[in-house]
Amino acid sequence: MKMLKHLFGKRDKELDIMQEEAIQSPFRTVVRNFVSNKLSMGGLVIFLIIFLIVLIGPIFNPIDLSEQEETQINVGPGLKMLDVPDELAGNVKEISTGSTFSVGLDNDGNVYVWGYTKVSNRIDVADDMPSKDELGKVVSVSAGFDHVMALNEDGEIITWGSDRMGQCQLPMEVKHEKIKQIAAGYQISYALSESGEIFCWGNENLNDVRLTRRNGNSNIAKISVANTTLMALTEDGEVRHMGSQSSDISKVPEDLGTVKDIATTADACVALLEDGSLRIWGKANKSEREIPEMDGEIVSMFGGRYHITVLTDQGTVYSWGSNAKHQTDVPKSAQNVVAIYGGTYQNYAVTESGEIVTWGLKGYLLGSDELGRDVFTRILNGGRMTMTIGAISVIISTIIGIIIGGISGFFGGWVDIVLQRLTEIVSSLPFLPMAMILTSIIGNSMSENARIALIMVILGVLSWPSLARLVRAQVLAEREQEFVTAANAMGVKKGAIVFRHIIPNVISVIIVSATLDFAYCMLTESTLSFLGFGVKLPRPTWGNMLNGCVSSVVIQNYWWRWVFPAIMLSICVICINMIGDGLRDAIDPKSNER
Amino acid sequence: MLKYVGKRLIYMVGVFFVVSIILFILFNNVPGDRALNQVQNLRGKVSDETFQLRYQEARDKLGLDDPIPVRYVKWMGNLLRGDFGYSSFYKKDVIDVLGTPLLNTIQINIMATIIALAITIPLGIHCAVKKFSKFDNAIQVLTIVGYSMPQYIIALVFIFIFAVKLGWFPISGMNTPNFQGTGLAFVLDRIHYLALPVIVMTVASLGSMTRYVRAAMIDALRMDYIRTARAKGLREKVVIYSHAWRNALLPVITLIISWFMSIFMGSIVIEQIFQINGIGKMYYVGLMNQDYDVALAVNMLYCVITLISNLITDLSYGIVDPRVRINK
């Protein structure tokens, strides 16, 4: 500490300009040389920016390691999920939200699609939308996981988007029915006829639906689509689960009484009871049960994936449930609301003046990955992990290198011979294979945090020999200097001479070496993680984010998953290397001539 | 010189044994019972007593009940006789498993080395001669970028450009699946498949190689004999290629040797990405599937490679600079 203060601390005595020009400490010369090197300064600035971003970023973007979201898989970069078209303002009839896109309908029967509309490699629900002539005057729309349904005034149902599971194959019997409600789900389409019967088509293996009369498929007033099943409300105010499998959501409470309205989140159902109160059942463990105090009667409600939004007759909107994607942050401007729409992670509120207020998930700045996790958040958190591991390994290796190099160089004799052989043995251990074997053998039975510590130690313990050699050579040279003789004559202890008199004189070489080692350790860590021997998923690092990206599909179609981490890692290492090079040139201007 | 070589050889053998002891102890502390793994498939098929008997036989055969030093001596003896153990993943002797991959890796490495040298030597010389020119500065920045990018990122970028976008090369593998051709057709097909990994390996090594060649050449150009040669009125070409380059060549050769050895380790990543049946892939698969005999054998091979490359480097330094010999 004292050494650092001595080196970098402010001098007590202020010098005027003339004196400073005349006498300049070597350290200042180094700083001046370094600052005048544009390339290295640029590198330093960029590196510091990245460093601060990954240091501070995770505080605002904490990572949820268990996060998995099937509706948000491989979403491209962009923040347009809430970009309601201007034509819709003041003229909204209905808005329905699918997985990553929303469909809007205006009072003239025009349909608009916005958001991330590329639902698969080939299908884009915005491009595939039928022309106005084909659609006719639409009266209702519904967006599903990867397809859209529209109902026009002739009673015709039109679907587009993905048809992989037959969700766009309208059955004949539906064509003759008069339809009052349509609902698109996870690869499945539902239609409710005026006579109160539900029809469905699409992926009936994934979705738990049984539409038989015996199962209560009659007299239905409203349907609401949960993640992979269907809830229905009868004309008599009874809630029915339209599936055959027993699950949390299928256990409809028996004491509900007459239900006025229902809404569903992914795995839970909300019922609005006769007395104006709400009841929730199902799998609701993301604080969906924490119903806020509300003034006024509830007039309308819908469920997102893990949140619920309601509108009261006072024109006030309440959202509660999971706020991981800011879907319950109702903005102040949502006053005097007349209608609310939404789903998944998006909310749209139409105010009296016709303005559309939006809140919820805007999109993913750098896209999302194969489990629907935000790449940006993972880059921030992964960067912190990569840099921490790199920094701590360098500190370990530098400390070992200084101690061994210092002792070996100063004392000489048999100590030197033994330490030299030790250095030789460690440096003849093949680095990458050795690190792989150590993490896989020792680290197998460890907890993830212990593994990370182990990786730091392994990298540190394997990478010190080059620095030790360097320090030894420097100490050998410094040992013969007069100040060492003086210290010796004054009776300073040997250890103190090495570490307090000699090492501060060779600190510049050590700093350069540590800087370049930092880059090397980061690279090794990321290579290890890339191969699956370093930090394991789901904990991100810049290396293991690229782990699942070596396939032509990902490389081509989901480029954001590998391009962004790769760019960050490369820029970071390039900058560190530039800083190291610049420092070396600044300390030893002669080396610049090389 | 002979004494120096002898001394280095003794050191090398000593280090080899120390490293082998470290590795052996490491691999023997692996959790899991290898004898049980060998007889696992008998469980349920034979009576419990026979199973116990077989299990004990396997333990005896593997020598699991011996103390560690005895086991080490046994293992070392086998190793020196060319018996590397038994691969539990491939159900074959390790020596049979590793033959072809070793050849493949050497093939790729030699190709990558030749191409890299063909590019870096002229480039390095040119940069040294035209030092601090715009071209040189640009190359200097590019080389920093080159050696800062990890191999796998270069691989991803090249796969994206040359395999996915342009479609010139296949993405991974060593041959077209079910390829029937023989002779020239087979070789061409193989080259087509290996071109991209070789290019990636070459590009990944360009940065540091160019810098090294340039530095060596600048050192050589600064010598007095260059001034003399120029003063004699020799043509610049003769000065550079005959006088300077020959002297810069010696440090470069040292580098080439150690670099050639080091890309054996680097090829773990490349072989894994491109699914090449090489020694690095074997190592990866061995570690991933707890096939520790294979992993241990490959790791020992890596150690030997490192030691030999250190030895050759030291010796070539000795040849280049006689002072090294005297000092030691």
Task: Show the tokens assigned to B232.
Answer: 């004699």
> 3-state SS string over A330-378?
CCCCCCCEEEEEEECCEEEEEECCCCEEEEECCCECCCECCCCCEHHHH
The distance of B47 to chain A (nearest Cα, Å) reads 33
Instruction: Report CB contact under 8 Å: B218, A519.
Output: no
In percent, the amount of chain B with pLDDT more than 90 equals: 3
Report whether A433 contacts B298 (CB < 8 A).
yes
The set of residues, in sequence order, having a beta carbon less than 8 Å from that of A108 and lying 6+ positions away, is A91, A137
**Tokens (6 digits) for A482:** 């007069």
Question: Coil, strand or helix: which one is A99?
Answer: coil
CB < 8 Å to A429, chain B: 19, 22, 303, 306
Least-confidence region, from B95-109, B116-130, B191-205, B257-271:
B257-271
Q: Chain B partners of A430 at a C-beta cutoff of 8 Å?
A: 265, 299, 302-303, 305-306
Residues 542-571 of A with CB under 8 A from B: 546, 549-552, 555-556, 559, 562, 566, 569-570
Residue contact B171–A431, C-beta within 8 A: no
Q: CA dist B316 to A466, A508, B246, B249, Å?
A: 20, 31, 15, 12
In chain B, which residue's Cα lies nearest the Cα of A436? Answer: B287
CA distance A40 to B215: 20
Compute the 3-state secondary structure of chain B and give helix, strand, coil in percent, each to the nearest 5: 80, 0, 20
Give how far Cα A142 sits from Cα of A191, A445, B158, Å.
Answer: 10, 50, 43
Q: HSE on the CB side for A163, CA within 13 Å?
A: 8
| Nearest-angstrom CA–CA distance, A429 and B300 | 10
Q: Measured between CA atoms, how close is A573 to chain B, in angstroms?
A: 6
Q: Among partner residues A421, A550, A581, which is closest to B273 by beta-carbon distance?
A: A550
- Please list every residue in chain A whose beta carbon sits closer than 8 Å to the beta carbon of residue B164: 552, 555-556
CB distance B220 to B252 below 8 Å: no
The interface predicted TM-score (ipTM) is 0.84
Determine contact: A533 vs chain B, CB below 8 A.
Answer: yes
Q: Do B283 and A531 touch (CB under 8 A)?
A: no
Residues B306, A430: C-beta atoms closer than 8 Å: yes
Average pLDDT for B311-318: 76
Contacting A residues, span 436-495, partner chain B, CB-CB under 8 Å: 436-438, 440-441, 444-445
Tell if the CB–CB gap between A577 and B148 is shorter than 8 Å. Answer: yes
Contact A593 B305 (CB under 8 A): no
- Check B144 against A436: CB less than 8 A apart: no
Quick one: pLDDT band at residue B253, thresholds 50, 70, 90?
Answer: confident
Distances (CA, A) of B233 to B218, B221, B226, B242: 20, 16, 11, 14
Residues belonging to chain A: 594
| Predicted pLDDT of residue B327 | 47
CA angle B165, B111, B250 (to 5 degrees): 130
CA distance linking residue A379 with residue A517, whole number of Å: 22
Inter-chain contact B19–A425, Cβ cutoff 8 Å? Answer: yes
Substitution target from A121, A423, A434 for chain B, most B beta carbons within 10 A: A434
Out of A431, A530, A550, closest to residue B265 by CB? A431
pLDDT tens for residues B167-178? 888 887 777 777
Q: Which of B152, B272, B299 should one mutate to test binding to chain A, selecting the residue with the greatest count of A CBs within 10 A?
A: B152
Taking CB atoms and an 8 Å cut-off, how many pairs form between chains A and B? 125
Q: In this complex, which of A428, A533, A566 lies closest to B156 when CB atoms are compared?
A: A566
Rounded-to-integer distance, Cα A429 and Cα A449, Å: 26
* Cα A236 to Cα A213: distance, rounded to the nearest angstrom: 16
The answer to whether B156 faces chain A, any CB pair under 8 Å, is yes
Burial class for A91, CB neighbours closer than 10 Å (0-12, 13-18, 19+): middle
Does the distance separating the beta carbons of B302 and A566 come in below 8 Å? no
Hey, are the CB atoms on A431 and B144 less than 8 Å from each other? no
Q: Which two tokens stand for residue A447?
A: 């907890």
A46-58: pLDDT as tens digits: 999 999 999 998 8
CB A469 within 8 A of CB A452: no
Tell me what the mean pLDDT of segment B109-135 comes to.
88
pLDDT at B47 over 70: yes
pLDDT digits (tens, 9 = 90+) for B255-272: 777 777 777 777 888 888
Task: Give the span between the Cα atoms of A41 and B14, in whole angstroms.
Answer: 46
B70 interfaces chain A, CB cutoff of 8 Å: no
Residues 200-229, chain B, touching A (beta carbon < 8 A): 214-215, 218-219
Residue pair A50/A568 in contact by the 8 Å Cβ criterion: yes
Tell me whether residues A531 and B269 touch, CB distance under 8 A: yes
Q: Kindly report the nearest CA distance between residue A68 and chain B, in angstroms.
A: 26
Contacts (Cβ under 8 Å, ≥6 apart) of B104: B174, B276, B277, B278, B279
Q: Which of A531, A552, A556 sits opposite B272 (nearest CB)?
A: A531
Q: Could you write out the DSSP letters of every residue in A471-504?
A: HHHHHHHHHTSHHHHHHHHTT--HHHIIIIIIGG
- The reply to whether B17 touches chain A by the CB within 8 Å rule is no
List strand residue ranges (DSSP E) for A111-146, in order: 111-115, 138-143
Chain B residue numbers with beta carbons less than 8 Å from the beta carbon of A593 are 218
CB A111 within 8 A of CB A105: yes
Residue-level pLDDT at A594: 46
Q: Does B147 touch chain A (CB under 8 A)?
A: yes
pLDDT in tens, A447-463: 888 889 999 999 999 88
| Ranges of chain A with pLDDT below 50 | 594
Tell me the HSE value of A333 on the side-chain side, using a 13 A CA sphere. 11
**Residues B271/B280, Cβ–Cβ less than 8 Å:** yes
DSSP symbol at B164: I
Whether residues A425 and B149 touch (CB distance < 8 A) is answered with: no
Report pLDDT for A456. Answer: 92
Identify the bridge partners of residue A138 per DSSP, sorted by sequence position: A152
Of A527, A573, A576, the CB nearest to B269: A527
Say how far apart CA A572 and CA B141 lie, in whole Å: 15
| CB spacing of B26 vs A523 below 8 angstroms | no
Chain B hits for A552, CB-CB cut-off 8 Å, are 159, 163-164, 171
Query: Does any CB of chain A come closer than 8 Å to the CB of residue B27?
Result: yes
- A4: closest CA of chain B, how far (Å): 29
**So what's the pLDDT on residue B328?**
43
Contact list in A for residue B31 (CB cut-off 8 A) is 444-445
- On whether any CB of chain A is under 8 Å from the CB of B102, the answer is no
Closest CA to B194 of B267, B120, B264, B111: B111
Report pTM.
Answer: 0.86
Spatial contact of A488 and A410, defined as CB atoms under 8 Å apart: no
A-chain CB neighbours of B163 within 8 Å are 552
Query: Predicted confidence band at B249 (pLDDT cuts at 50, 70, 90)?
Result: confident
Gap between the Cα atoms of A262 and A271, Å rounded: 5
Could you tell me which of A26, A45, A6, A33 has the C-alpha nearest to residue A508? Answer: A26
Q: How far is B294 from chain A (nearest CA, A)?
A: 12
> What residues contact residue B114 under an 8 Å CB cut-off, 6+ apart?
none
Q: Where are the alpha helices (DSSP H) in B130-150?
A: 134-148
Residue of B nearest to A528 (CA): B269
CA distances from A112 to A122, A136, A363, B128, B251 (A): 20, 14, 18, 63, 69
All residues of chain B having their beta carbon less than 8 Å from the beta carbon of residue A523 are 148, 150
Q: Looking at chain A from residue 2 to 61, which residues have their Cβ under 8 Å from any Cβ of chain B?
A: 39
Asked whether the beta carbons of residue B31 and residue A593 sit closer than 8 angstroms, the reply is no
Cis previous bond, A538, omega within 30: yes
**A380-390 confidence digits (pLDDT tens):** 999 999 999 99
